[in-house]
Amino acid sequence: MPVFDVYQLLPITPVRAEGRYLWDNQGNRYLDLYGGHAVISIGHSHPHYVRRIEQQLKQIAFYSNSVINPLQEELAERLGRLSGYPDYQLFLCNSGAEANENALKLASFLTGRKRVIAFQKSFHGRTSGAVSVTDQPAIQAPFNTQHDVHFVPLNDIQALQEAINHEVAAVIIEGIQGVGGIRVPDDQFLQQLAALCEAHGCLLILDEVQSGYGRTGHFFAHQHAGIKPHLITMAKGMGNGFPIGGVLIHPDIKPKKGMLGTTFGGGYLACAAALAVLEVMEQEDLIAHAAQIGAWLIGELKQIPEVENIRGRGLMIGLDPQPAFAGLRQHLLHRHRILTGEAKPHTIRLLPPLSLQEEEASFFLKAFRQSLQEMGKPETSISFQNGQKY
Ligand SMILES: Cc1ncc(COP(=O)(O)O)c(C=O)c1O
Residue nearest to atom 3 of ligand 1 (CA): 124
The C-alpha atoms of residue 107 and residue 95 are separated, in whole angstroms, by 19
Q: Which of 122, 136, 210 to mutate to test the pocket of ligand 1 (most atoms within 8 A of CB)?
A: 210
Closest ligand 1 atom to Cα of 126: 11
Average pLDDT for residues 324-334, to the nearest whole number? 93
Residue nearest to atom 7 of ligand 1 (CA): 96
Mean pLDDT of the chain: 95
Please tell me the distance between residue 140's alpha carbon and the centre of ligand 1 in angstroms: 15
Please tell me the distance between residue 206's alpha carbon and the centre of ligand 1 in angstroms: 12
Average pLDDT for residues 244-263, to the nearest whole number? 98
pLDDT digits (tens, 9 = 90+) for 214-228: 999 999 999 999 999
Please tell me the distance between residue 374's alpha carbon and the centre of ligand 1 in angstroms: 35
Residue 380 has pLDDT above 60, yes or no: no
Prediction pTM value: 0.96
pLDDT digits (tens, 9 = 90+) for 175-185: 999 999 999 99
The C-alpha atoms of residue 136 and residue 188 are separated, in whole angstroms, by 26
Please tell me the distance between residue 97's alpha carbon and the centre of ligand 1 in angstroms: 6
Q: What domains lie within the chain, and their CATH numbers? A: 14-40+285-380 (3.90.1150.10), 47-283 (3.40.640.10)
| pLDDT confidence bin for 346, thresholds 50/70/90 | confident
**Pure H helices in the chain:** 35-38, 47-59, 70-83, 96-111, 128-132, 157-163, 187-200, 268-283, 286-301, 328-336, 358-376
The C-alpha atoms of residue 107 and residue 229 are separated, in whole angstroms, by 12
Average pLDDT for residues 300-309, to the nearest whole number? 92
Average pLDDT for residues 144-165, to the nearest whole number? 97
Average pLDDT for residues 235-241, to the nearest whole number? 98
The pLDDT value recorded for residue 377 is 66
Name all residues whose Cβ lies below 6 A of ligand 1.
Answer: 37, 95-97, 100, 123-125, 174, 178-179, 207, 209-210, 235
